[in-house]
Amino acid sequence: MMREEDAAELLDALAERGIDVRLDGGWGVDALLGRQTREHDDLDLFSERRDEDALVALLRERGFAPVGRAFTTEAHTAWADDEDREVDLHVFERAADGSLLFEGEAYPASTFDGEGRIAGRAVRCIPPAEQVAFHCGYDHDEDDVHDVRLLCERFGIPVPAEYAREIEG
Protein backbone atom coordinates (compact mmCIF):
# COMPACT_ATOMS: atom_id res chain seq x y z
CA MET A 1 0.00 0.00 0.00
CA MET A 2 1.10 3.54 -0.72
CA ARG A 3 -0.09 5.48 2.32
CA GLU A 4 -0.62 9.24 2.32
CA GLU A 5 2.50 9.88 4.39
CA ASP A 6 4.54 7.64 2.04
CA ALA A 7 3.30 9.54 -1.01
CA ALA A 8 3.96 12.92 0.61
CA GLU A 9 7.46 11.90 1.73
CA LEU A 10 8.39 10.67 -1.75
CA LEU A 11 6.96 13.80 -3.39
CA ASP A 12 8.95 15.97 -0.96
CA ALA A 13 12.16 14.07 -1.78
CA LEU A 14 11.54 14.52 -5.51
CA ALA A 15 10.88 18.25 -5.06
CA GLU A 16 14.07 18.66 -2.99
CA ARG A 17 16.04 17.31 -5.96
CA GLY A 18 14.21 19.51 -8.44
CA ILE A 19 12.47 16.57 -10.10
CA ASP A 20 9.16 17.75 -11.55
CA VAL A 21 6.36 15.17 -11.51
CA ARG A 22 2.61 15.11 -12.09
CA LEU A 23 0.24 12.73 -10.32
CA ASP A 24 -2.17 10.44 -12.10
CA GLY A 25 -4.30 7.51 -10.97
CA GLY A 26 -5.89 7.19 -7.55
CA TRP A 27 -3.58 9.57 -5.72
CA GLY A 28 -4.05 12.07 -8.56
CA VAL A 29 -7.81 11.85 -8.01
CA ASP A 30 -7.49 12.20 -4.24
CA ALA A 31 -5.13 15.16 -4.69
CA LEU A 32 -7.80 16.91 -6.77
CA LEU A 33 -10.36 16.15 -4.06
CA GLY A 34 -7.95 17.39 -1.37
CA ARG A 35 -8.29 14.29 0.80
CA GLN A 36 -7.67 10.57 0.77
CA THR A 37 -10.88 8.76 -0.18
CA ARG A 38 -9.61 5.16 -0.46
CA GLU A 39 -6.51 3.00 -0.11
CA HIS A 40 -3.97 3.05 -2.93
CA ASP A 41 -1.73 0.27 -4.17
CA ASP A 42 0.67 2.68 -5.85
CA LEU A 43 1.60 6.24 -6.66
CA ASP A 44 1.25 7.03 -10.37
CA LEU A 45 3.79 9.61 -11.52
CA PHE A 46 4.42 11.29 -14.85
CA SER A 47 7.95 12.60 -15.33
CA GLU A 48 9.69 14.20 -18.24
CA ARG A 49 12.34 12.05 -19.93
CA ARG A 50 15.09 14.55 -18.94
CA ASP A 51 14.38 13.78 -15.24
CA GLU A 52 14.12 10.01 -15.61
CA ASP A 53 17.66 9.14 -14.51
CA ALA A 54 17.47 11.33 -11.40
CA LEU A 55 14.05 9.97 -10.50
CA VAL A 56 15.12 6.35 -10.94
CA ALA A 57 18.26 7.03 -8.86
CA LEU A 58 16.10 8.42 -6.04
CA LEU A 59 13.79 5.41 -6.19
CA ARG A 60 16.77 3.02 -6.02
CA GLU A 61 18.23 4.96 -3.05
CA ARG A 62 14.93 4.50 -1.25
CA GLY A 63 14.91 0.74 -1.81
CA PHE A 64 12.69 0.56 -4.88
CA ALA A 65 13.52 -1.90 -7.66
CA PRO A 66 11.88 -2.45 -11.04
CA VAL A 67 9.13 -5.04 -11.18
CA GLY A 68 7.73 -6.54 -14.35
CA ARG A 69 4.09 -5.85 -15.13
CA ALA A 70 1.95 -6.66 -18.15
CA PHE A 71 1.97 -2.95 -19.06
CA THR A 72 5.75 -2.49 -18.82
CA THR A 73 7.25 -0.57 -21.73
CA GLU A 74 10.25 1.73 -22.10
CA ALA A 75 8.03 4.65 -21.06
CA HIS A 76 5.91 2.91 -18.40
CA THR A 77 7.55 0.98 -15.58
CA ALA A 78 6.69 -0.14 -12.06
CA TRP A 79 8.93 0.07 -9.01
CA ALA A 80 8.36 -1.62 -5.65
CA ASP A 81 10.11 -1.77 -2.30
CA ASP A 82 10.19 -4.32 0.53
CA GLU A 83 7.26 -2.61 2.26
CA ASP A 84 4.92 -3.32 -0.69
CA ARG A 85 4.88 0.31 -1.76
CA GLU A 86 4.82 0.78 -5.51
CA VAL A 87 5.47 3.63 -7.92
CA ASP A 88 3.96 3.43 -11.39
CA LEU A 89 6.28 5.61 -13.50
CA HIS A 90 5.21 7.14 -16.82
CA VAL A 91 7.94 8.94 -18.75
CA PHE A 92 6.93 11.48 -21.39
CA GLU A 93 8.65 13.87 -23.74
CA ARG A 94 7.71 17.41 -24.75
CA ALA A 95 7.27 18.29 -28.39
CA ALA A 96 8.52 21.61 -29.77
CA ASP A 97 4.98 23.03 -29.53
CA GLY A 98 4.76 22.14 -25.82
CA SER A 99 2.47 19.16 -26.26
CA LEU A 100 3.19 15.94 -24.37
CA LEU A 101 4.26 12.76 -26.10
CA PHE A 102 3.62 9.47 -24.30
CA GLU A 103 3.75 6.05 -25.94
CA GLY A 104 3.06 7.35 -29.43
CA GLU A 105 0.19 9.63 -28.43
CA ALA A 106 0.25 13.43 -28.24
CA TYR A 107 -1.62 15.32 -25.52
CA PRO A 108 -2.05 19.07 -25.02
CA ALA A 109 0.25 20.64 -22.44
CA SER A 110 -2.87 21.47 -20.40
CA THR A 111 -3.13 17.76 -19.58
CA PHE A 112 -0.82 18.52 -16.64
CA ASP A 113 -2.45 21.75 -15.46
CA GLY A 114 -4.28 20.25 -12.47
CA GLU A 115 -3.52 21.23 -8.90
CA GLY A 116 -4.32 19.36 -5.73
CA ARG A 117 -3.15 18.54 -2.23
CA ILE A 118 -1.74 15.47 -0.52
CA ALA A 119 -1.21 15.65 3.23
CA GLY A 120 -1.60 19.41 3.02
CA ARG A 121 1.14 19.76 0.41
CA ALA A 122 0.41 21.31 -3.00
CA VAL A 123 0.95 18.91 -5.90
CA ARG A 124 0.54 19.06 -9.65
CA CYS A 125 -1.68 16.52 -11.30
CA ILE A 126 -3.88 15.71 -14.25
CA PRO A 127 -7.01 17.95 -14.16
CA PRO A 128 -10.46 16.52 -13.33
CA ALA A 129 -11.96 16.25 -16.83
CA GLU A 130 -8.82 14.60 -18.19
CA GLN A 131 -8.73 12.22 -15.20
CA VAL A 132 -12.28 11.12 -16.01
CA ALA A 133 -11.39 10.71 -19.71
CA PHE A 134 -8.33 8.61 -18.81
CA HIS A 135 -10.58 6.31 -16.77
CA CYS A 136 -12.45 5.34 -19.95
CA GLY A 137 -11.84 2.79 -22.68
CA TYR A 138 -10.84 -0.23 -20.58
CA ASP A 139 -12.45 -2.74 -18.22
CA HIS A 140 -12.81 -0.68 -15.06
CA ASP A 141 -12.98 -1.92 -11.49
CA GLU A 142 -14.67 -0.65 -8.32
CA ASP A 143 -11.79 1.77 -7.61
CA ASP A 144 -12.31 3.32 -11.04
CA VAL A 145 -16.04 3.66 -10.38
CA HIS A 146 -15.30 5.26 -7.01
CA ASP A 147 -12.83 7.73 -8.55
CA VAL A 148 -15.05 8.68 -11.50
CA ARG A 149 -18.10 9.11 -9.26
CA LEU A 150 -16.29 11.50 -6.93
CA LEU A 151 -14.71 13.52 -9.74
CA CYS A 152 -18.00 13.88 -11.59
CA GLU A 153 -19.86 14.90 -8.42
CA ARG A 154 -17.25 17.40 -7.22
CA PHE A 155 -16.42 19.02 -10.54
CA GLY A 156 -19.76 18.79 -12.36
CA ILE A 157 -18.44 16.49 -15.06
CA PRO A 158 -20.99 14.39 -16.97
CA VAL A 159 -20.76 10.71 -16.06
CA PRO A 160 -19.27 8.77 -19.01
CA ALA A 161 -21.71 6.30 -20.60
CA GLU A 162 -19.55 3.32 -19.65
CA TYR A 163 -19.90 4.24 -15.96
CA ALA A 164 -23.56 5.32 -15.99
CA ARG A 165 -25.02 2.02 -14.81
CA GLU A 166 -22.72 1.76 -11.77
CA ILE A 167 -22.88 5.44 -10.82
CA GLU A 168 -26.41 6.50 -11.70
CA GLY A 169 -28.03 3.18 -10.91
Per-residue model confidence as pLDDT tens digits over 110-161:
999 999 999 999 999 999 999 999 999 999 999 999 999 999 999 999 999 9
Q: What are phi and psi of 104, to 5 degrees?
A: 80, 0
Confidence check: pLDDT of 169 > 90 = no
Q: What is the pTM of this model?
A: 0.94
**Number of structural domains the chain divides into:** 1
CATH number (domain holding residue 112): 3.30.460.40
> Has residue 96 been placed in a domain?
yes
> Has residue 78 been placed in a domain?
yes
Taking Cα atoms as reference points, which of 29, 27, 39, 24 lies closest to residue 111? 24
Which residue segment(s) compose the domain that 12 sits in? Answer: 4-159
> Has residue 169 been placed in a domain?
no
Per-residue pLDDT tens digits for 62-108: 999 999 998 899 999 999 999 999 999 999 999 999 999 999 999 99
